[in-house]
Chain A
Amino acid sequence: AQSVTQLGSHVSVSEGALVLLRCNYSSSVPPYLFWYVQYPNQGLQLLLKYTSAATLVKGINGFEAEFKKSETSFHLTKPSAHMSDAAEYFCAVSAHAGGTSYGKLTFGQGTILTVHP
């Protein structure tokens, strides 16, 4: 069984400030972890993924996330927020390839990021 908890349903930052979106996971097997972004009235787009290679993962639009096994965390960061980053962000976990998950994802509840001028 696996689960994802995103701490904070809403995060507000000023333009140019650090963005930190928190994600903690629970998985009985080594996980694959994903961050997706959803802009209003659109589907989800992949930001980045962790698949047991480097623990620091770089994604699109300047985002990165660090896998910390000891903390069961996969927090998303961006050094300097831009107005265009305003969206909803979802963390998701999938069981490791050795299992039979067939790529099924378990999503967190989502975090809405607001960026103020």
Chain B
Amino acid sequence: NAGVTQTPKFRVLKTGQSMTLLCAQDMNHEYMYWYRQDPGMGLRLIHYSVGEGTTAKGEVPDGYNVSRLKKQNFLLGLESAAPSQTSVYFCASSYSYDRGNQPQHFGDGTRLSIL
């Protein structure tokens, strides 16, 4: 019973490098989300998807891109990493019915450091 799985769990990058974070869910959820968590700021929404092939910007989208080619996967890309993107990244998913009512299920996070 995996739920939401994030890969990798830890990563250290140099400024300017690129990388992709992978999120996979096995609950057949329509909605998927990427958040970043920084101390004292709670979680902030980066991008989200309401279905396969769709993506939309959240609160802090700059410097990130996403893709949802398959319903169960949601990828977050950093094209040119910057130290300000050092954070813990969380993926979440939820059902689509009664929008806003369904709780989100979270992965365990990816801890990313940009040097």
Interface residues of A (CB under 8 A from B): 4, 9, 32, 34, 36, 41-46, 49, 51, 90, 94-97, 99-110
Flag if B108 contacts A43 (CB, 8 Å): yes
Secondary structure class of chain A's binding surface, majority of residues: loop
B109 close to A102 (CB less than 8 A)? no
The residue from B40, B43, B48, B108 contacting A102, defined by CB atoms under 8 A apart: B48
SS class of chain B's interface: helix, strand, loop or mixed? Answer: loop
Complex contact A90–B42 (CB within 8 A):
yes
9 residue pairs bridging A and B, Cβ less than 8 Å apart? A32-B100, A41-B109, A99-B100, A101-B100, A102-B100, A103-B100, A104-B48, A105-B43, A110-B42
A47, B31: Cα distance in complex, Å = 20
Instruction: Assess whether A43 is in contact with B100, with CB atoms less than 8 Å apart.
Output: no
- B41: contacting residue among A95, A100, A109, CB under 8 A: A109
Most A-side CB within 10 Å, residue of B44, B103, B108: B103
Is B74 part of the binding interface, using a Cβ–Cβ cutoff of 8 Å?
Answer: no
Q: Which residue of B lies closest to A51 (CB)?
A: B101
Chain B residue contacts of A95, Cβ below 8 A: 100
Contact, CB under 8 Å: B99 / A100: yes
